[in-house]
């Protein structure tokens, strides 16, 4: 079965200074030579007129680069055209390419899928590429580029190697089991090694939250009684008036999300409706949503009107909590002596959003909380639920092989084979057809 040759606009929306159209597949060079008069040296950019092969009309003057299959992104023959980024230029070029037999527009992620199928990347690197394109903050970018460059694959392949070695030693023991010379010797080596492997994977699993958080961003929820100053606080973080602030209790009803970049970490801050008993249907729905968000928050900032410090809210959230006694400007002295007191689970602050007093301290503590929630996330191996699932299953299998000491060695070895297969699913060595569609569809057309 011969592959289609695929093409797409790989750069951003037109009009733009330059538009890059990619062409990849068995007919890539053939098609290119129909459009230009002289083939450029491989991997060197050359300026060429592109003309319509049917009418002879010149379409554009462009830089043309041809990549042999061994040196291309996709692992097959490929060509890039760097055209002027006008709508009509791009449209004409795509129309002409589509006229060639066996050439068609690429689907979302299809170039990357071919790169994967041709062994240029493993699945973790592909996921890293997808994340790199989506990355919005500096630390997300760092995590993604590490993964895209194969850092995850090499760790996982290292683990697989240990499992393979253990199994081959068990095989060897089985082959020589009637010889008296080596009893026990192999077991002495492999089981401690497998215990280490298990501990190593478990260490990574224990940090899984951090990695997934960095990919998805973490959620900070502002909660408290009406009029405590939640929306004022959101506006303070935003440095602009995103939320409506009035002296009327019950102003905020809908959830309002603000995306922040805190020292390179992605944070979504959510303003919510003030919590109180209410007969109003709209407000009650707002309160229901506020409670729901609070439960799933990574960090809660409870805002309390400092002139009514007894007005605290009951929240069944496991999230860490910062409590801000606001409106300090209305209180003669600071009755709480509160700033920064408390423990890891709940820290107490006294400040005034309105005058800004105490807010720098609150902000610094907030940044520290965020940093500790992400702590070392860039180096974490697990960035997706998928990784966590297979690693857990791998650990289970390694564990089974360790604890079933009374079982025949063949069975213990079989657990190790399964453990290795789980790792193979992460890198895509083991058949994972059903999830490929999901992974590649996250890319845009042209990647
Ligand atoms: N004096 C003083 N007033 C403040 C301070 N912070 C907020 N306010 C005022 O308190 C009132 C309520 O503020 P909001 O930010 O709307 O309070 P909220 O918690 O979002 O209220 P709801 O959305 O109704 O739950 C407004 O009139 C604010 O100007 C502060 O530090 N000092
Ligand atoms: K209000
Ligand atoms: Mg509000």
pLDDT tens digit string along 333-363? 665 556 667 776 789 999 999 999 999 999 9
pTM: 0.80
Instruction: Give the ligand with the smallest distance to the CA of 276.
Output: 1
Which of 354-358, 430-434, 439-443 shows the lowest mean pLDDT across its residues?
430-434
Instruction: Give the ligand with the smallest distance to the CA of 226.
Output: 1
- Is 235 in the same domain as 305? yes
Nearest to 216 by CA among 144, 272, 151: 144
**Mean pLDDT score, 192-215:** 92
Distance separating alpha carbons of residues 294 and 314, to the nearest angstrom: 11
- pLDDT, the chain, mean: 91
Number of domains in the chain: 3
**CB 353 less than 6 A from any atom of ligand 1:** yes
b vs e for 115-153, b when ≥16 Cβ sit within 10 Å of the residue's Cβ? bbeeebbbbbbbbbbbbbeebebebbbbbbbbbbebbbb
pLDDT at 189: 84
274 annotated to a ligand binding site? yes
Q: Give yes or no for residue 376 having a pLDDT over 80.
A: no
**CB 229 less than 6 A from any atom of ligand 1:** yes
pLDDT at 175: 73
pLDDT tens digit string along 36-61? 999 999 999 999 999 999 999 999 99
246 annotated to a ligand binding site? yes
CA 241–ligand 1 middle distance (angstroms):
13
- Kindly state whether residue 278 falls inside one of the protein's structural domains: yes
Distance separating alpha carbons of residues 206 and 201, to the nearest angstrom: 9
**Protein residue closest via CA to atom 23 of ligand 1:** 252
**CB 247 less than 6 A from any atom of ligand 1:** yes
Q: Give yes or no for residue 446 having a pLDDT over 90.
A: no
- State which of 372, 395, 421 marks the end of a domain: 372
pLDDT tens digit string along 127-172? 999 999 999 999 999 999 999 999 999 999 999 999 998 998 888 7
**CB 256 less than 6 A from any atom of ligand 1:** no
The CATH number of residue 390's host domain is 1.20.120.430
Which of 28-32, 136-140, 147-151, 206-210 shows the lowest mean pLDDT across its residues?
206-210
Contact 80, 22 (CB under 8 A): yes
Q: Specify the higher pLDDT residue, 260 or 443.
A: 260
Q: Give yes or no for residue 179 having a pLDDT over 60.
A: no
Q: Which atom of ligand 1 is nearest to the CA of 250?
A: 24
- Kindly state whether residue 116 falls inside one of the protein's structural domains: no
3-class SS at 329? helix
**CB 326 less than 6 A from any atom of ligand 1:** yes
Q: Give one DSSP letter per residue of 87-129, joined into a string.
A: HHHHHHHHHHHHHSTTEEEPPTTHHHHHHHHTTSS-HHHHHHH
11 annotated to a ligand binding site? no
- Is 271 in the same domain as 184? no
Instruction: Give the ligand with the smallest distance to the CA of 247.
Output: 1
pLDDT at 2: 66
319 annotated to a ligand binding site? no
**CB 350 less than 6 A from any atom of ligand 1:** no
Residue 201 DSSP symbol? H
CA 231–ligand 2 middle distance (angstroms):
8
The CATH number of residue 49's host domain is 3.30.1360.120
pLDDT tens digit string along 236-281? 999 999 999 999 999 999 999 999 999 999 999 999 999 999 999 9
Question: What ipTM describes this predicted complex?
Answer: 0.99
**Beta-carbon contacts of residue 68 (< 8 Å; ≥ 6 apart):** 42, 43, 77
b vs e for 11-45, b when ≥16 Cβ sit within 10 Å of the residue's Cβ? beebeeeebbbbbbbebbbebbebbbeeebeeeee
User: Given pLDDT bands bounded at 50, 70 and 90, which one contains residue 332?
Assistant: confident
**Protein residue closest via CA to atom 9 of ligand 1:** 229
- Is 39 in the same domain as 178? no
Boundaries of domain holding 153: 124-207+382-440
């Amino acid at each position: 079965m011969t592959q289609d040759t695929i093409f797409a606009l790989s750069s951003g929306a037109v009009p733009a200074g330059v538009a890059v159209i990619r062409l990849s597949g068995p007919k890539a060079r053939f098609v290119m030579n129909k459009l230009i008069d002289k083939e450029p040296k491989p991997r060197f950019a050359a300026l060429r007129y592109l003309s319509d092969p049917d009418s002879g009309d010149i379409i554009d003057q462009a830089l043309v680069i041809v990549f042999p299959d061994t040196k291309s992104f996709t692992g097959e023959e490929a060509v890039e055209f760097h055209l002027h980024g006008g709508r009509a230029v791009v449209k004409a070029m795509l129309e002409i390419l589509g006229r060639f037999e066996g050439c068609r527009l690429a689907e979302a992620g299809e170039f990357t899928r071919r790169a994967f199928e041709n062994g240029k990347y493993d699945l973790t690197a592909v996921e890293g590429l997808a994340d790199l394109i989506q990355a919005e903050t500096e630390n997300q970018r760092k995590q993604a580029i590490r993964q895209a460059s194969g850092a995850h694959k090499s760790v996982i392949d290292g683990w697989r190697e240990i499992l393979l070695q253990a199994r081959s030693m068990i095989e060897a023991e089985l082959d020589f089991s009637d010889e008296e010379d080596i009893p026990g010797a192999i077991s002495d080596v492999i089981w401690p090694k497998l215990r280490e492997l298990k501990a190593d994977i478990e260490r990574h699993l224990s940090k899984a939250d951090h990695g997934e958080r960095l990919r998805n961003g973490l959620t900070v929820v502002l909660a408290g009684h009406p009029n405590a100053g939640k929306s004022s606080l959101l506006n303070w973080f935003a440095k602009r008036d995103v939320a409506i602030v009035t002296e009327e209790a019950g102003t905020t009803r809908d959830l309002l999300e603000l995306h922040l970049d805190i020292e390179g970490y992605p944070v979504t801050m959510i303003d919510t409706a003030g919590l109180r008993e209410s007969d109003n249907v709209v407000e009650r729905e707002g309160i229901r949503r506020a409670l729901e968000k609070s439960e799933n928050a990574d960090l809660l900032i409870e805002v309390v009107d400092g002139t009514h410090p007894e007005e605290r809210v009951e929240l069944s959230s496991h999230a860490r909590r910062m409590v801000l006694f606001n409106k300090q400007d209305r209180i003669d002295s600071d009755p709480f002596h509160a700033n920064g007191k408390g423990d890891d689970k709940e820290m107490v602050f006294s400040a005034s959003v309105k005058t800004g007093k105490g807010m720098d301290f609150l902000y610094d503590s907030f940044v520290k909380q965020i940093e500790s929630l992400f702590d070392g996330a860039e180096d974490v191996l697990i960035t997706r639920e998928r990784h966590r699932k297979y690693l857990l299953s791998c650990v289970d299998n390694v564990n089974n092989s360790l604890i079933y000491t009374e079982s025949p060695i063949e069975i213990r070895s079989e657990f190790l084979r399964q453990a290795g297969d789980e790792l193979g699913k992460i890198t895509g060595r083991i058949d994972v057809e059903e999830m490929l569609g999901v992974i590649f569809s996250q890319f845009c057309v042209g990647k």
